[in-house]
Amino acid sequence: MHSRRNFLQQIAATAMVLPFMSLPGWAVTRRPKEGKVLRVALMGLGSYANRVADAMKSCTKAKLVGVISGTPSKITDWQQRFDIPAANCYNYSNFDRIRDNPDIDVVYITTPNALHHGQTLRVAAAGKHVICEKPMALNAHEGADMIAACKKANVQLLVGYRMHFEPKTLEIIRMRNSGEFGKILFFQGQCGFRIGDPTQWRLNKELAGGGSLMDIGIYAINGARYMTGEEPLWVTAQETKTDPIKFNAGVDETIQFQLGFPSGAVASCLSTYNMNNLDRFFLNGEKGFAELQPSTGYGPIKGRTFKGELTQPHMTHQTVQMDEMADILLAGKQPLVAVNGEEALKDLKIIDAIYQAVKTGKKVNLA
């Protein structure tokens, strides 16, 4: 594990020094030709990449065509499992060569959080679109840098917000937009689980950038925004740590945080690595309510409103996400809830503010 951490940290360090290329414009706002699919390379072949790859077997608009990994045995295995040609296989040292590969449109980055920034800069410099897992970066400064790099390279930056395409979630947003809940008063987001292996990268400050807030709490942050339809003005937060050995300095175990919105609505949220059975969103308005439980897991999502049970069919989140992202990148489709870098930057600014509120014990203004 120690050698793997060193290896990943070396990747992050070397990723920062590569220059940008001058690239021609991309026709990303035109309708794709009949039958055109988004050709995807996955970077970082861990458990979530496997989930995405399996889900993409059912996609009609996106196809897995390439891989990037620091482990040769994984590349060999993926070649066999997903029929990936050798010409589309890269490691962390040579993946800049994708600039010369016309058979890859986008790279989906699923590596540890600390690597997202440098790897995004390199992919953008190679002239490929980027899909980055959340959190997009370790902080808002890195996130803004990633957005600027992709704009400079004239490529698009999307973030893996799969819940933005989930049918029951979208139905609640539709109901809110149509005024069925009336004035929104309150949101509650509870996100957490008891984390296992104490040596995993999620509990390594240098690779994760934090603890539960970076991994699971971001769902409550993002959910508070898309469920209320507002951007918060202020945040307060409190941290609880019962195991300072497992959750060492800079790795949060449990954080409770509160958000205030322009309309007067408030949010009360919890993020934890020390409690199971926490995956619930609740939205309350003057005329009615909505509840999702589970709210952000891989599914099926279950929910109800004051009008009854939500019955939209379950679809594999990553299948829907990748087909929708194909439409965004190839056809210029605008999703109901944004999934671009600017959307992710808003979450990062709130994360920064939450950590500041924990440190200072004071309300932090976001305006």
Q: Name the pLDDT band for 367 (thresholds 50, 70, 90).
A: confident
User: First and final CA of the chain: distance in angstroms?
Assistant: 41
Global pTM reads 0.91
- Tell me what the pLDDT averaged over the chain comes to: 93
State how far the alpha carbon of 279 is from the alpha carbons of 150, 170, 271, 276, in Å: 33, 17, 10, 9
Read off the pLDDT of each residue in 26-32 and give the average, rounded to a whole number.
36
- Residue 294, SS3 per DSSP: coil
The CATH code belonging to domain 163-315+340-365 is: 3.30.360.10
The CATH fold of domain 2-160: Rossmann fold (3.40.50)
Q: What pLDDT, in 10s, does the model give residues 286-296? A: 999 999 999 99
pLDDT at residue 322, as a whole number: 98
Q: Write the pLDDT tens digit of every residue in 203-235.
A: 999 999 999 999 999 999 999 999 999 999 999
Instruction: List, by residue number, the catalytic residues.
Output: 134, 219
Where do the structural domains in the chain lie, given as residue ranges?
A: 2-160, 163-315+340-365
| Mean pLDDT within 165-170 | 98
Give every CB contact of residue 65 below 8 A, 6+ residues apart in sequence. Answer: 39, 40, 41, 84, 85, 88, 103, 104
Chain-centre distance for alpha carbon 93: 24
Q: What's the pLDDT tens digit per position in 302-329?
A: 999 999 999 999 999 999 999 999 999 9
What pLDDT shows up at residue 35?
65
pLDDT (mean) for 335-349? 98
3-state secondary structure of 289: strand
Question: Across residues 131-153, what is the average pLDDT?
Answer: 98
What is the rounded average pLDDT of the residues 161-183?
98
pLDDT on residue 98: 98
> By the 8 A CB rule, do 88 and 104 touch?
yes
- pLDDT value of position 15: 44
Average pLDDT of span 156-173: 98
Burial call 311-325: b when 16+ CB within 10 Å, e when fewer: eeeebbbbbbbbbbb
For a pLDDT cut of 70, what percent of the chain falls above it? 90
